[in-house]
Structure 1
Amino acid sequence: MKKDYSSFFVPGIILVGAVLRIPFTTIPTVLSYVADGLGVSVNSLGILTSIPLIMFAFCSSLAPRLADKFGLEKLFTMVLIAMFIGSSMRVINLPSLYLGTMIIGVSIAMMNVLLPSVILANQPLRIGLLTTVYTTAMGLASSVASSVAVPIVKMTSWKGLILLLSFLILLALVVWFPNTFHNHVTEKDEEAHVGSLWKNKRALALLVFGGLQSLLFYTGMTWLPTMASQAGVSSEAAGILASIYSLISLPFSLTIPTLATNLSSKNRKIMLAIVSACGIIGTGMLLFQSSNFVYWLLVNVLIGIAVSALFPYLLVAFSMKSHTPSQTAQLSGMVQSGGYFLAAFGPTLFGYSFDLFGSWKVAALCLFICTIIMAVALFYTERFEKIL
């Protein structure tokens, strides 16, 4: 009798979701400790926060081809092993810190793409619920890890923190590993039905939507506190705004995937219209500067609602708008590759615009226009039940 490994699937998804961001999002909070430990300047380590995004941009498209070769669950296991090795080697020296971060970036890029396909292959009737599960685990783990990182470093060292993160990855690997024996291998002829995604207008529209959603999120996370401070808000209040911007994602990660998969097409469009309007109003408010805390609180809440709701919707859309796990992986790989390319360079160009023009007006106007284009692309894709 063939052994049933299905009981390991949901716990595995939860733990994978929990470690999907913390290996690199936790490090910026303790960057000064890492710099002191290695005897280098903090500025020289600034690229550590950009490396994963760059890897997301250039490596996401590899996941579908590798999944066709090895199978979904087996590739997932291989990626978790690589992620554990990459995380652990960061404690050796400065070159290994950079190399390990690159390996982590490649690993997470693969898992970002594979997760919707893995869920569709194993639990096609629970796409919304399981997307809720792993996005919530991802958000909670990131919040908790960021809040306890400094105390852990003070109790041990920065190496102790990284080794603890590596242990959590190992734990996720151990729980996930039994799923390898229920490996889904893509049929050879499935890819022929997909055609060239780069010639598919609906897929390109989803790429534009996903890319601009990522750009809006990472630009807001990087620059909203600075913009508020320069407008006259205290640094302490700006820190509170940054926390609100991050924490607002939790209720939406709990509700949006299930709503997106259960609402009728008409009601889903109404929900997305409200969310998109929040983003447009929030970015529009950036065109007007104010020293009022409540004003900036409203800006952060409105933009936070938009990016926090649209991200889990995008993850669900990969499965909803494709027929097979292979198509889901290819669509996810294409959209996330282009999306993270925009996310990696968007915040940099946003900051450069301030240096060039001496104010945030031009950058804010560009972000406002990008948000409108994002909404247009979103509703273009919503016209079609399936993209592939």
Structure 2
Amino acid sequence: MLILGIVLISINLRTSIASVGPLIPFIREDLGISNGLAGFLTTLSLVTFAVFSLFAPSIGKKLGHGKAIFLGILLLAIGVVLRVLGGIELLYIGTALTGIGIVIANVLMIPFFKARLPEKIGLMTAILSTGMSLFAAVASGFSVPLAVDLGLGWRGSLASWVVLMVLALVVWIPQMRSRNAGHQGDLLKAKKRMEIKIGLASHAVYGSSIRHVFYHGNLASRYADRKRNESGQSRNSLSYMQLISLIGTFFVPNYLIRLKEQSRVILIVGISYLVGYSALFIQNELIAFVALTIIGVGSGASLSIAYTLISLRSAEDLTTAKLSGMVQSAGYILAALGPLVFGISLDLFDNWEILIWFLLIMTVQFIGFGLPAGRNCKI
């Protein structure tokens, strides 16, 4: 039941976000709102993630991680229903609630299964990251068919994912017993260790660069598709990248935990990014396919690396929760700023190749902060 609960929680952490993008045209037409107001839905989710990631560890400490995760999924389900019941106001309020619910569960899942299943950290991390990635693709692909082919409309399509959330809540009930992840002695030790701000900050920056490269690496697929369209070809590279990324998300965690240090793996993934992004400059269909394959597998691997290192580099459960909150908060801030910076650059210079240079610079940061984060030490 515990493992089934973790599986169900993981598949609910991205469906409510991924299902919105394809339905934006329907939402705009029905509510009569501008592209800017519709696009703000995505920005609102990222800002909510960034802010409430910092509060999630305190909520987990007060309620216990099991109860806090239940609360997160409950808020997520309420938000998913609320955002389809009215106009633009309820849409925004519901979206904010979904963001709060997601981030509470997302931040606390790592310290939760580290405490409850310490011998299966690799497997649980693989399940968490793979479930998130897989159902993000599923939700994105099924949103429009649910709305159009089944006649549910955008409201019914968005609301339909609440079924999985209710199922997750029911299965999670046994994990709500009053049982905090850590013991009082561990909390006192963790409090002293939390004074080492530099260690946390370094790992937070590394984790943020991972999340930044992961999210905005998907923009590389748009760059590749744009070049294909210019040559009369068309292909949905994003779907392919999302699918191929599952290889990295599932297999990397179990490999990482068997290593004394993870720096070499981080370096290999970073070099792979450099090769993949650089290859996109070349006007060749086969090379573009190989490049997107490398980037896709790397993006899945880097997401799993981030989650695995949070467990491996933290000594106590409270530290794990704090580190998870800091990493995800910093990461979502960069995730929100990235498209804005790139969009302004595109308006100023009208050159899509700036995107690739931008991602290459972020990859250098990924390697620079990743090598020390991969060393065998505890915060």
Q: 1:379 aligns with which of 367, 371, 375?
A: 371
Distance 1:37 1:321, change over 3 A: same
Match of 1:203 in 2: 200
Q: 3-state SS of the aligned residue for 1:183?
A: coil
Contact 2:112-2:181 within 8 A present in 1 as well: no
Distance 1:331 1:35, change over 3 A: same
Output the CA distance in 1 between the equivalents of 2:82 and 2:235.
32
Contact 2:346-2:352 within 8 A present in 1 as well: yes
Contact 2:221-2:292 within 8 A present in 1 as well: no
Output the CA distance in 1 between the equivalents of 2:234 and 2:213.
18
Distance 1:214 1:237, change over 3 A: farther
Match of 2:191 in 1: 192
Match of 1:299 in 2: 291
Contact 1:212-1:370 within 8 A present in 2 as well: yes
- Structure 1 residues without counterparts, runs of 5 or longer: 1-7
Match of 1:119 in 2: 113
Q: 3-state SS of the aligned residue for 1:52?
A: helix
Output the CA distance in 2 between the equivalents of 1:139 and 1:363.
23
Q: 1:83 aligns with which of 69, 73, 76?
A: 76
Output the CA distance in 1 between the equivalents of 2:68 and 2:240.
36
Match of 1:258 in 2: 254
- The offset of 1:75, in angstroms, is 1.1
Contact 1:29-1:149 within 8 A present in 2 as well: yes
Q: Which moved more, 1:187-196 or 1:26-35?
A: 187-196
Equivalent residue pairs, number: 373
Q: Does 1:99 align with 2:98?
A: no
Distance 1:243 1:237, change over 3 A: farther
Distance 1:253 1:106, change over 3 A: same
Letter in 2 for 1:354: L
CA RMSD of aligned residues (A): 2.1
Letter in 1 for 2:23: V
Match of 1:131 in 2: 125
Output the CA distance in 1 between the equivalents of 2:43 and 2:312.
31
Distance 1:239 1:349, change over 3 A: farther
Q: Does 1:360 align with 2:352?
A: yes
Output the CA distance in 2 between the equivalents of 1:41 and 1:369.
33
Letter in 1 for 2:175: N
Output the CA distance in 2 between the equivalents of 1:50 and 1:179.
32
Match of 1:345 in 2: 337
Contact 1:225-1:238 within 8 A present in 2 as well: no
1:311-368 Cα deviation digits (max 9, x unpaired): 1111011111112211100111111111111111112201211211232344433321
- The offset of 1:220, in angstroms, is 2.5
Contact 1:237-1:293 within 8 A present in 2 as well: no
Letter in 2 for 1:228: A
Distance 1:257 1:181, change over 3 A: same
- The offset of 1:53, in angstroms, is 1.3
Contact 1:121-1:184 within 8 A present in 2 as well: no
Q: 2:271 aligns with which of 273, 277, 282?
A: 277
Q: 3-state SS of the aligned residue for 1:196?
A: coil
Output the CA distance in 2 between the equivalents of 1:118 and 1:158.
35
Distance 1:271 1:78, change over 3 A: same
Q: 3-state SS of the aligned residue for 1:91?
A: coil
Q: 2:140 aligns with which of 146, 169, 185?
A: 146
Q: 3-state SS of the aligned residue for 2:337?
A: helix
Contact 2:15-2:139 within 8 A present in 1 as well: yes
Contact 1:225-1:239 within 8 A present in 2 as well: no
Match of 1:10 in 2: 3
Distance 1:378 1:135, change over 3 A: same
Letter in 2 for 1:302: I
- The offset of 1:26, in angstroms, is 1.0
1:157-186 Cα deviation digits (max 9, x unpaired): 222122211222111111112210152165
- Structure 2 residues without counterparts, runs of 5 or longer: none
- The offset of 1:35, in angstroms, is 2.4
Distance 1:289 1:30, change over 3 A: same
Scaled by the length of structure 2, what TM-score is found?
A: 0.91
Output the CA distance in 2 between the equivalents of 1:173 and 1:324.
27
Letter in 2 for 1:147: G
1:99-127 Cα deviation digits (max 9, x unpaired): 11111111111222101100011111110
Letter in 1 for 2:193: V
Match of 1:176 in 2: 172
Contact 2:61-2:180 within 8 A present in 1 as well: no
Contact 1:249-1:308 within 8 A present in 2 as well: yes
Output the CA distance in 2 between the equivalents of 1:358 and 1:321.
42
Contact 2:248-2:299 within 8 A present in 1 as well: no
Distance 1:157 1:360, change over 3 A: closer
Letter in 2 for 1:106: I
Q: 3-state SS of the aligned residue for 1:189?
A: helix
Distance 1:302 1:164, change over 3 A: same
- The offset of 1:229, in angstroms, is 4.4
